[in-house]
Structure 1
Amino acid sequence: MSKLAEFKALEAQLAEQLAQLDALKNDDGLKKEIEFEQKLRALLGEYSFSLREVKLILDPHARPERAAPAARQPRRERQVKVYLNPNNGERIETKGGNHKLLKEWKSQYGAETVESWLQD
């Protein structure tokens, strides 16, 4: 699109938006809402209340908008895994995969082989 065509398109959009803005400025409903908001804010300031506090007064069961997330349930405890090395009879009990000897076995024999040593 040429610069001139782009300019004319934007100019047309601006004219349309200005027409919509003028229509809203003359709308009685909007004028009433603006007046209501001004009076409400003045009243809130007079009594030192926030909109959030007023919402809670009007609807005490409403959930606050920016409340902390609901308390998460604790993580399930990890199960103990028992590995038995058939080559030398050594036994490892661990809850995770960060066990030093288990890592050595996995590097020596391969992870798939070591996982097959898992006892039920």
Structure 2
Amino acid sequence: MTKLAEYRRLEAELAAQLQQLDALKNDDHLKREMQFEEKLRALMAEYGVSLRQIIQILDPAPATIVQEPGRKHRPRKVKIYKNPHTGEVVETKGGNHRVLGAWKEQYGAKEVDSWLQ
């Protein structure tokens, strides 16, 4: 694409976005939302209440699981496998356990998965 063609494409996109922005500026529903937000922020400042506190007041249900900083996934559950042939028990959080891998090689993955307690 030439620079001129790219310029004209971007100019047309900008004109379309400006037209959408003008339409939104005249939207009564948007005006009411903006007015509500202004009044809410003024009340928050007047009473010294944060947005989190307002949410806690309006929806006091327990918050979702709070994760430790740096953790992106929920902790894995411990899985317990019991070998019916030897009675040996293995507890693992992942699938890379040495004994579990040996069992899967010896008995097959489907059978070892059926040993999950």
User: Does TM-score exceed 0.5, indicating one fold?
Assistant: yes
Return the letter of the residue paired with 2:8. K
How many percent identity over aligned positions? 56
Q: Give 1:58 deviation, angstroms.
A: 1.1
Aligned to 1:33, the other structure's residue is in SS state helix
1:95 corresponds to: none
CA offset digits 1:56-104 (Å, max 9, x no partner): 111111x44xx7735969x89xxxxxxxxxxxxxxxxxxxxxxxxxxxx
Deviation of 1:28 (Å) = 0.4
- Counterpart Cα distance in 1 of 2:2 and 2:75: 57
Kindly tell me the number of residue pairs found equivalent between the two proteins: 92
AA in 2 matched with 1:69: V
Structure 1 gap segments, 5+ residues each? 77-120
Unaligned runs of 5+ residues in structure 2 are 68-73, 80-117
Letter in 1 for 2:33: E
Give every structure 1 segment of 4 or more consecutive aligned residues whose post-TM-superposition deviation is greater than 4 Å: 70-73
* Paired position in structure 2 for 1:33: 33
User: How does the TM-score come out when normalised to structure 2?
Assistant: 0.55
Q: Give the structure-1-normalised TM-score.
A: 0.54
